Chains A and B, each alone.
Chain A
Amino acid sequence: MNKLLNLFISTLKISAFTFGGGFVIVPLMRKRFVEELGWIDEQEMLDLTAIAQSSPGAIAVNASILVGYKVAGFGGALLTVLGTIIPPFAIIGVISLFYKAFRDNVIVSVALGGMLASVAAVLCDVVITMASSIFKKKALPIIMMVLSFVAVRYLKINILLVILFCAAIGVLDALYENRRTKHDLS
């Protein structure tokens, strides 16, 4: 299949299933673009998620812009943005005609409850996969992961601040490593 068409249809499909918040797009994109198509590598996907999370706007839209840009440049990004907004646009467009009936429909809420339970499982699955790749590394990234988790989950610190703090630690760590290697050489 034509690569651009494949990119567009994949994004359409993924967007139509992004229930339960923006982060859900990460495991879906990972499955399609990292595992199935091999267009993006594992580490890169995490980098793109970090950028998507720290930019203004919806995570799902930001993440698809990044994936589109990576795969096919500026045009690719426009294509993935379209692919991401068409499903919610069409669905809300139709539902707005009879949204009260939709909201109160028992079958809809039952199906949604079931899907939500599996979306939770999808996120747990991807967290385990991603965390195990962090645990293979040095101690500092593991400590940062645990600290970030506590900061976001229990201390309710703004996510952007946590990201900036981690970036600062990253810079300090790089400077320290640099000095040490120079010192060892001299």
Chain B
Amino acid sequence: MEVLLLFVLVIGLMLVGTPIAVALGFSSVMFLLVFSESTLASVAQTLFEAFEGHSTLLAIPFFILASSFMSTGGVAARIIRFSIALVGHLRGGLAIAGVLACMIFAALSGSSPATVVAIGSIVIAAMRQVGYTKEFAAGVIANAGTLGILIPPSIVMVVYAAAVEVSVGRMFLAGVIPGLLAGTMLMIGIYIMARIKDMPAGEFKGFREILNSFREAAWGLMLIVIIMVGIYGIPGVTGAIFTPTEAAAVASIYAFLVATFVYRDMGPLKEGRSLLKNPHTLITALWHKDTVNTLRDAGKLIITLMFVIANALLLKHVITDEQIPQQITETMLAYGFGPIMFLIIVNVILLIGGQFMEPSGLLVIVAPLVFPIAIELGIDPIHLGIIMVVNMEIGMITPPVGLNLFVTAGVANMSMMGVVRAALPFLGIMFIFLILVTYVPSISTFLPNTLMGPEIIAK
């Protein structure tokens, strides 16, 4: 009963406009003071331990920083050029290229709104130019942009791994096949629509353009290679080289070097100055205005996101202490609910929650609640993680208030309803995808189990 009160308080406070972090923290503190023996000092300690006790979360700031360096410059434009060179000549090619570009950018950025902003602002304009409707363009981008949290490296997956203590490496691997599958399904859907409605096709610019655009984009694409090879090593050649946290830090440094010294979209060499004539910039770039601004902007994102997560961990502390999951499990088993019913309930909770809340924050609250139940019911923890991520993806594009719908409406200067209608056909595809992922566990677990050995589940 008290527990119900706790959740009503959290949701009520959020709805009246309390910062999510405070709504979570305030409710937890109140609950602990009223219903338990805990002191405020122990609450403060728990808050600090969000950092001290969860070194997995340390990967988040570095992934955000790497993606900030990558989004400052023309990386998005270069990826789009490469995508168009590859698939632009198909019927509906520009839309398909948009999806491909979102998939690639998702691997660089790890955030869905960021993907929509970076790719959408360029692709929507380009699609309008060759005769697509604005609605169609916006619908494509709103949907493809959600891949940001599914295709590794993904910040949401790091949060899940930290919240329920599974391996980040496994989660990333588990996201690869679903990510590619979702992207491919979207592309096929667009191709069929384009065939029926006879949408424009670009012309094939030849293999030279593919090669050239690849060479341009390669510096950005290398980031994915660094992270993946760093975390997993090269099978048969070397084992893992970095921890995920280190991989993210190395990726940040790499992204900084590429943005400053190779692409020169930012920093001291921006106006075409030569590095040879200005060798001192190798050092001064570290505190150049652009570098500091990027650090500051990434810092803002990290602060707001991590403050939510730290407070959500307070709530998790309450949930675990009160043995709430165990109570729910007992009730569910008493009513004869099996794994399938349970997964449907999880789907519904996340679809609704995903509309209102930032995915990482939602995950940190829901994961500790449903994880013990899932283990009890024999659901694979990695599989559960992927289901949750896909659910939140769809929550972001589900009317009336999905986050990606808002972002797309903002970017495209369209009404919310316009984007909702535009995104609807693709939402259908994503739903089919969700059902596939939910009820075919091997889509998620095949890769991690093959490459890293079967998961050992400790109950």
**Do the two chains bind?**
no
A residues in contact (CB < 8 Å) with B = none
